Chains A and B, each alone.
Chain A
Amino acid sequence: MKFAVIVFPGSNCDIDMYHAIKDELKEEVEYVWHDAENLDQFDGILLPGGFSYGDYLRSGSIARFSKVMNEVVKAAEAGKPVLGVCNGFQILLESGLLPGAMLRNQGLKFICRPVELEVVNNETMFTKAYQPNERITVPVAHGEGNYFCDEKTLQQLETNGQIVFRYAGENPNGSLSDIAGITNERGNVLGMMPHPERAVDELLGSADGLKLFQSIVKHWRDSHVVTA
């Protein structure tokens, strides 16, 4: 399986993402610059964290209009897995691939520490390797992770099982309904504030994030690779 790590000016978790795929997951991966015009050769798209375009105006609002985003939308429409982490999540919200918006953390502080998550839906292509309601530890690092949407949208998210991760301990940022990660209705676009790519080896304090990437690969193999 071949992954693209999209790099915007100001991305800073792209190297972590690349490392997670190449060295821990042991799959193919390439950096793709924000002005790329074609993502056809990739099977999975990864939008890393950071501060694309300096977070000017609103987090993700400028990155959303970069050339490569047309291709990311196409990949999402084609059913390819698209994962946005932290700033990547913010870009997915701004682009409309995921519903809702991000507000400043309730406590106004930038928060950088491991948090406990509950895997609310383990039947997505991103979470099949987890147990139902499994508790995992993954770090967060953000100043704007306070997820918000209107009541109707929240109800839809709940009904369709689109809430994939919730903060299990203390909610670090005040997000609505303790939301840490959501998918689109089809289930192939996941946005999450915590960083699974920073939790792929016990040496880093947790390897709980690795199963997320393994789930993507397994899902892809099951549907694309025919074993004789």
Chain B
Amino acid sequence: MMKVKVHVTLRESVLDPQGTAVKNSLHAMNYQEVQDVRIGKYLELLIEPSDRPVEDVVKEMCEKLLANTVIENYEFEVEEAVTQ
């Protein structure tokens, strides 16, 4: 079994109003060192390997559903899932 960790974030060119609100709040708390905040999503998929490479399958899922590439970027890592 493979565990896939997917990060979906807004593209650089897209304004992130949530991130901006959090940054302003951090500044109000006196964390002046914060230059920027971007908020994204984290998804974990458990995948049973098939005859297709996991990377190909996950890429396809990201393009079709998990991310909207008009406004979002995605990246993922695949690791062996620890079975209990």
Contact = CB atoms under 8 A, between A and B. Distances in A.
Interface in A143-187: 146, 148-150, 174
B70 A104 contact: no
B21 interface: yes
Contacts of B68: 58, 61, 94, 101
A106 B15 contact: yes
Interface residues of B, number: 12
Contacts of A100: 70
A104 B22 CA distance: 14
Contacts of A39: none
Contact of A61 (B10, B15, B17, B65): B65
A103 interface: yes
A174 B17 CA distance: 10
A78 interface: no
A63 to B, nearest CB: 12
A106 B17 contact: yes
A100 B10 CA distance: 14
Given A148-B70, A148-B71, A149-B70, A103 B65 contact: no
A54 interface: no
B28 interface: no
Given A101-B70, A101-B71, A148-B71, A65 B65 contact: yes
Interface string B37-52: 0000000000000000
Contacts, number: 34
A108 B18 contact: yes
**Which A-B residue pairs are the 5 nearest by beta carbons?**
A101-B70, A101-B71, A101-B68, A106-B17, A108-B17
B14 interface: yes
A105 B71 contact: no
A57 interface: yes
In this complex, which of A100, A103, A150 has the most chain B Cβ atoms within 10 angstroms of its Cβ? A103
A79 interface: no
B54 interface: no
Nearest to A99: B70
B15 A103 contact: yes
Contacts of B14: 103, 148
Interface string B52-84: 000000000000011010110000000000000
